[in-house]
């Protein structure tokens, strides 16, 4: 199954990997400027809900035993194979806080 990244207007570019689609098209747009954000628990929860909904749309329902079943949140989390968006944002903040020597610079 192929998906198209409409975020950047390239409708002729299809991606075969759903995780690549999320990591490279959706996550950067959602988290733009996240290094400067002060996230509350409520905002973190809203981001996690958004991420789960996106993965639900990307992976879609599963056809089993002659019927369609929606995937559970836990199964979607397992299928995403990576850190969630809140952990990713916090990691981006940590990169800014580290000294240039730790980042491989001077």
CB 21 within 8 A of CB 3: yes
Q: Report the alpha-carbon distance of residue 55 to residue 89 in Å, rounded.
A: 18
Evaluate whether residue 102 is within a structural domain: no
> Which residues are CB-contacts of 91 (< 8 A; sequence separation ≥ 6)?
83
For the residues of 53-82, what is the DSSP string, one character each? HHHHHHH--EEETTEEEPPPHHHHHHHH-S
Within a domain: residue 74?
Answer: yes
Task: Report the distance separating Cα 106 and Cα 16, nearest Å.
Answer: 39
Task: Classify residue 104: in a domain, yes or no.
Answer: no
Distance CA 53, CA 18 (A): 14
Is 43 inside a domain boundary? yes
- Quote the mean pLDDT of the chain: 75
Q: Is residue 44 part of a domain?
A: yes
Within-domain flag for 16:
yes
Residue 70 lies in a domain: yes
Note down the domain range covering 57: 3-97
Tens digits of per-residue pLDDT, 17-36?
Answer: 555 677 777 888 888 888 78
Question: Based on the structure, what is the number of domains in the chain?
Answer: 1
Q: Indicate the pTM of the whole model.
A: 0.65
Residue 104 has pLDDT above 90, yes or no: no
Does any domain span residue 84?
yes
* Alpha helix (H) residue ranges in 1-106: 18-21, 27-30, 41-59, 73-80, 85-97
């Amino acid at each position: 199954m192929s998906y198209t990244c409409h975020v950047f207007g390239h409708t002729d570019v299809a991606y075969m990997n759903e995780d690549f689609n999320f990591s490279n098209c959706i996550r950067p747009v959602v988290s733009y400027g996240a290094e400067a954000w002060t996230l509350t628990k409520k905002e973190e929860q809203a981001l996690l809900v958004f991420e789960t909904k996106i993965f639900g749309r990307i992976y879609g329902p599963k056809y089993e035993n002659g019927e369609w079943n929606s995937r559970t949140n836990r199964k979607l989390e397992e299928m995403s194979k990576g850190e969630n968006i809140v952990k990713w944002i916090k990691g981006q903040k940590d990169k800014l806080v580290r000294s240039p020597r730790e980042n491989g610079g001077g």
